[in-house]
Structure 1
Amino acid sequence: MSAHRNLPPLPALRIFEAASRRQSFLLAARELNLTPGAVSKQIRQLEEHLGLPLFERLHREVRLTAAGAIYARAIGQLFEDLRAATAEVMVSPAADKLVVWCAPWFLKAWLLPRLERFRALRPGLQMDLRTGESSEAIDPKADIAIRLGLGTWARMRSEFLIPQEIAAVCTPAYLRREGLSQPFAFGDFVVLDSANTPHHLELWKQAAGMAGVEPRERIVFQSNETAFAAALTDHGLALVNPYFVEAELANGRLVCPWPARTRTDRSYWLTWRDRFNLPPAASAFRRWILAEFRRE
């Protein structure tokens, strides 16, 4: 019996993947440079091959059936694996190149200050550092990634790096300017908060025993990074991962008015696709970063 006997036509699968992802025959046709009629015909042939409908045809739209949704998830993952495998084999084995995706706060506060140590181990390595706001949607071309989350990304291997902790910091200059001294009162402080993590303030207040106490003022920034930048320029109290500001705390540029720290449910993880071997440069990066954390 042929191993291909039960497989549906591959062109139809490509069209189904686009149509299910777009939820539209018209948009799939535009993406694939086909006519809507050609898309509809291929989907119909696929349904006949499977013996069940994949889409409900409504007046001006199409909607996946229950079976279609199950099939779409599986086919979508197969095409994602195919794209990743294609990108992997198209890279010349002789090319000493590494594409790293990194969560922005980790990139700025931890990786960049230490990056020369890794580069010294791999002279001539061409590095491509990429980042983005969400660890849920990283660049698919990344060989390896440092992500913030629960460590449960589908079809990815994950190695724990550090937890996401929260501490409150400010500059000594801010305390002097506002005339603040121990014992500190939270109600006297301006809090520099982030719209990305609005729940962190309440988490920290609970850990500090100040649930229900409000600051004098709360300024909301678009990201944690901009809130921290404001704290460094003496504008108030920011919530940060203390691991990322160890140097500033050690040299006195920042202080913690209260010793309270707490953890969120998220951590930083080193991740890569579980179906593919790490390229040599990515494997060297993994060994280096794990050794750095053991050393620290």
Structure 2
Amino acid sequence: MKTDTLSDKNSQTLSRRLPPLGALRCFEAAARLESFTRAGTALHLTHGAISRAVRALEEDLGTALFERRSHRVFLTAAGAELLHSVTQALDLIENTTRRLRAPILDAPLVLSCEPTLLMRWLIPRLPAFQAAHPEISIQLLAGGGPFAFNQGIDLAIRRNDFPWSDETQAHWLFDEAVGPVCRPDKQTDWSPSPMGLPTLLEHAPRLHSATRPHAWAQWLQGRQLPASQVPQEQVFEHFYFSLQAAVAGLGLAIAPWQLVRDDLAGGLLCAPFGFVADGSAYYLLSAQAISDDSAAGRLLHWLREQAQA
């Protein structure tokens, strides 16, 4: 005999009233990346497919989830509320499946790192780690800013210039310190030291990185120097380009110490004023706690050693 009572676990009155799950995945990517195009790239779908999925979700819910402006999209209040719930649900599913999934033998640790730090600091030191830990394989990815562990990333090295979720485990690596650097043969032209104390001349060309537009102002404030305008300024897309321009003798680049420490040791660059802490720091981020005897734990210990060496 079939029944249709609330006590029957098979009753259709207990079926879940959920929106299309595929559309939720498209919505989460579009909300996180603030772009239907970038969401499509991340999910290997077209812009139109993302747009249609979000539109179907909005029609199912009867409310707008995004404000569409030019090439970007912004969450409405309803969209922000839904994103919070969807993110928590996806994180819960991802963490559970990570625990249940059988471990893959010899699977590499996927480590995401900011591109210039990866190029100028991590990669030159990585052979020493591989020699000390041949049993640990690491796959490197270049990336900066927000990311998601469910995109195949195990660990990430990031500066704390953006918020990460409360569930993310953050392991301190080193505090950031910045200062102007230039070619040694240009020091007397731009920052002479007639009385033993270097002076930043007004005509000294300053090199900026677009990724940290306020780095010069922060350094001047830290040194209690006036933030005056200079006649020669150049802005580069990334730190790497501004540092290469400094090596070429185009000007003084404001630079983090970790990114230029090898050039300073090799005599390619000099730092007339030294470095001052800017209040930020770098962390190794993980989805779960890191035990000392794990591959991630050994990597964390080694990264801290390299940062302080």
Scaled to the shorter chain, the TM-score interval is 0.7 to 0.9
**1 CA distance for matches of 2:190 and 2:289?**
58
Q: Select between 93-102 and 63-72 the one with higher mean Cα deviation.
A: 63-72
**1 CA distance for matches of 2:238 and 2:111?**
22
TM-score by length of 1: 0.73
Please give the secondary structure, in 2, of the residue aligned with 1:257. coil
Q: Structure 2 matches for 1:1-296, cutoff 5 A?
A: 8-9=16-17, 12-19=20-27, 30=49, 39=56, 44=60, 55=63, 69-83=80-94, 86=97, 92-123=103-134, 125-132=136-143, 134-137=144-147, 140-150=151-161, 152-154=163-165, 155-175=167-187, 178=189, 181-183=192-194, 184-259=199-274, 261-274=275-288, 280-293=294-307, 296=309
Tell me, which stretches of 5 or more residues in structure 2 are unaligned? 1-6, 37-45, 69-73
Instruction: Rate the CA distance shift 1:238–1:106 in 2: closer, same or farther, 3 A.
Output: same
Displacement of 1:10 after TM fit? 5.9
**1 CA distance for matches of 2:241 and 2:286?**
29
Q: Deviations over 1:228-251 (max 9, x none)?
A: 111011111011112332333234
Q: Select between 74-83 and 166-175 the one with higher mean Cα deviation.
A: 74-83
Tell me the number of residue pairs that the alignment of Structure 1 and Structure 2 aligns: 275
**1 CA distance for matches of 2:87 and 2:172?**
28
**1 CA distance for matches of 2:18 and 2:176?**
44
Please give the secondary structure, in 1, of the residue aligned with 2:83. helix
Please give the secondary structure, in 1, of the residue aligned with 2:296. helix
- Asked if the contact 1:190–1:235 (Cα under 8 Å) also holds between the matched residues in 2, the reply is yes
- Asked if the contact 2:190–2:201 (Cα under 8 Å) also holds between the matched residues in 1, the reply is no
Q: What RMSD over aligned residues (CA atoms) do the two structures have, in Å? A: 4.2
Tell me, which stretches of 5 or more residues in structure 1 are unaligned? 45-52
Aligned-pair identity in percent equals: 23
**1 CA distance for matches of 2:79 and 2:231?**
54
Instruction: Rate the CA distance shift 1:109–1:69 in 2: closer, same or farther, 3 A.
Output: closer
TM-score by length of 2: 0.70
Q: Select between 187-196 and 206-215 the one with higher mean Cα deviation.
A: 206-215
One-letter code aligned to 1:227:
S
Displacement of 1:211 after TM fit? 1.1
Instruction: Rate the CA distance shift 1:67–1:208 in 2: closer, same or farther, 3 A.
Output: closer
